[in-house]
């Protein structure tokens, strides 16, 4: 190509040649110097035309610095071209890098009062009035304790972690999630059955702090004011094997509950990962432990009926057989007999229970919360311009089916998903459908939903 360029337009005054008699060619577009506005020479005798150089800076502004052999970016200004930083400022290039969210200020004047916290819980959790009140006050006092450490008056407020007792599906995890969202603090949720004593296969107890740090976008200060919820915190009973998720895990959790400096990896939950380590202090982290504690009711009943089992006191034997909420009568000795060690119980001073979901409460869960499953399906069908209505008898039928499964509110979604599947499939086929009414017969498999067509007017 150089030979051809040499022979082109030999008499052209603008035809520029180097000392060897050859015309310079752009390294990128291969155009000769006579066809471009300006040619720039960079180290290693590489020449680039001004057009290609400016396109390079455009690419720098959008995607980052490209690499060319011998390219020196130090003296770009002397070439009459804009350096990348000035180019980005002039064109106000928006990078895709996510801005770091500002940390919410934990101020006593902005801290929601207990009645405000409970009011927020009321919008999402039906029933459980006593549990919501205890949780609201406990969380409020915990963060007042954090703020009180900023003052030096000699009064030290002890940490108050919590223990939640309640059957599955009663709303334990959901209540904790709602409070963390309201207070804008990071939350880590872990399953105690997945935790093991150090040296065993599985996650060690400090992995929960790693999760909290990750949920706080690796902000140590924010993580140190977060909430950790440990579910299924109960020892397996009547086992002769080594129980790595029971007493030994409780022992390992003691220092976290009390407050300690923990070294955790940044960006990974495994200590063996090749990532930097950082120190997180757990003194101001609120720990909430929860579990269904199957069999605890029998221990409570045994204690309550242990006295006066003969003579006039024999009537106590079946006095509590039909008690719906035995957890509200729990005492420390019951939890200790169940399998929690005394040191662990002592670091969970606030103990409260949630009631099992009965049919009436399940109906309320179906229709009243802000994110109720029925409201979700109504919104989905409204996007197809179709109204959805549930008869009261139909909702009660769903509640009865859910109560029979004995999994609390978790059963509601699976039941509704099952009978709504055909409706969600068939409705978009006919644009004339204006309303669907779910009946009791349809829930019980004895009939079909009522379909109303749109009026022609």
pLDDT digits (tens, 9 = 90+) for 66-110: 444 444 444 444 444 444 444 444 444 333 334 444 545 455 567
CB-count exposure of residue 7 (10 Å: 0-12, 13-18, 19+): exposed
Q: What pLDDT does 6 receive? A: 40
Q: What pLDDT does 278 receive? A: 87
Residue whose token pair is 């959805």: 388
Q: What pLDDT does 55 receive? A: 78
Ordered alpha helix ranges (H), 81-128: 84-91, 114-122
User: Mapping DSSP to helix (H, G, I), strand (E, B) and coil, where does residue 256 land?
Assistant: helix
CB-count exposure of residue 58 (10 Å: 0-12, 13-18, 19+): middle
Is residue 166 within 8 A of residue 410, CB to CB? The reply is: no
- Compute CA distances 328 → 192, 309, 362, 416, whole Å: 23, 23, 20, 31
pLDDT digits (tens, 9 = 90+) for 106-145: 555 678 889 999 998 988 888 889 999 999 999 999 988 8
Q: What pLDDT does 234 receive? A: 64
Measured distance CA(113)–CA(139) in Å, rounded = 10
Q: What pLDDT does 91 receive? A: 41
User: Mapping DSSP to helix (H, G, I), strand (E, B) and coil, where does residue 249 land?
Assistant: helix
**Pairing mode, if any, of strands 261-265 and 286-291?**
unpaired
Measured distance CA(300)–CA(342) in Å, rounded = 17
Q: What pLDDT does 288 receive? A: 93
The pTM is what? 0.68
Q: What pLDDT does 14 receive? A: 46
Q: What pLDDT does 44 receive? A: 65
Total Cβ atoms within 10 A of residue 414: 12
Is residue 136 within 8 A of residue 118, CB to CB? The reply is: yes
User: Where are the strands (E) in 298-349, listed by range?
Assistant: none
The DSSP secondary structure of 118-165, one letter per residue, reads HHHHHTT--S-HHHHHHHHHHHHHHHHHHHHTTS-SS--PPP--EEEE
* Residues of the chain below pLDDT 50: 1-15, 64-101, 103, 105, 199, 238-245, 313, 457
């Amino acid at each position: 190509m150089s030979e051809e360029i040499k022979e082109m337009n030999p008499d052209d005054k603008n035809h520029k040649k180097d000392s060897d008699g050859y015309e310079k060619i752009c390294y990128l577009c291969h155009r000769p110097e006579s066809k471009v506005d300006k040619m720039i020479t960079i180290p290693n005798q590489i020449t680039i035309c001004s057009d290609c150089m400016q396109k390079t800076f455009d690419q720098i502004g959008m995607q980052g610095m490209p690499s060319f052999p011998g390219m020196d970016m130090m003296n770009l200004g002397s070439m009459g071209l804009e350096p990348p930083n000035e180019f980005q400022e002039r064109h106000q290039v928006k990078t895709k890098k996510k801005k770091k969210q500002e940390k919410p200020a934990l101020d006593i004047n902005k801290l929601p009062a207990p009645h405000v916290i409970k009011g927020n819980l009321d919008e999402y959790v039906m029933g459980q009035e006593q549990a919501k009140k205890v949780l609201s006050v406990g969380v409020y006092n915990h963060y007042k304790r954090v703020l009180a450490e900023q003052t030096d008056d000699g009064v030290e407020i002890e940490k108050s972690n919590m223990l939640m007792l309640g059957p599955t599906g009663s709303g334990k995890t959901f209540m904790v999630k709602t409070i963390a969202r309201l207070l804008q603090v990071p939350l880590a949720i872990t399953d105690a059955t997945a935790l093991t004593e150090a040296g065993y296969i599985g996650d060690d107890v400090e992995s929960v702090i790693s999760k909290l740090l990750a949920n706080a976008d690796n902000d140590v200060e924010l993580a140190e004011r977060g909430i950790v919820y440990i579910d299924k915190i109960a020892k397996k009973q009547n086992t002769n094997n080594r129980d790595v998720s029971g007493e030994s895990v409780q022992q390992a959790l003691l220092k976290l509950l009390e407050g300690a400096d923990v070294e955790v990896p940044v960006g990974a939950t495994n200590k063996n990962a090749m990532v930097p380590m950082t120190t997180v202090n757990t003194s101001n982290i609120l720990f909430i432990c929860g579990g269904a504690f199957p069999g605890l009711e029998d221990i409570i009943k045994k204690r309550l009926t242990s006295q006066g089992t003969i003579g006039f006191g024999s009537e106590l034997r079946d006095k509590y057989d039909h008690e719906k909420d035995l957890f509200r009568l729990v005492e420390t000795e019951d939890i200790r007999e169940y399998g929690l060690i005394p040191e662990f119980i002592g670091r969970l001073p606030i103990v409260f229970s949630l009631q099992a979901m009965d049919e009436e409460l399940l109906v309320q869960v179906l229709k009243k919360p802000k994110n109720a499953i029925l409201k979700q399906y109504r919104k989905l069908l409204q996007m197809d311009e179709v109204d959805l209505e549930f008869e009261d008898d139909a909702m009660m039928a769903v509640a009865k089916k859910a109560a029979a499964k004995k999994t609390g509110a978790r059963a509601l979604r699976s039941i509704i998903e099952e009978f709504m599947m055909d409706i969600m499939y068939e409705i978009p086929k006919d644009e004339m459908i204006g309303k669907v009414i779910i009946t009791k017969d349809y829930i019980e498999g004895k009939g079909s939903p009522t379909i109303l067509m749109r009026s022609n007017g």
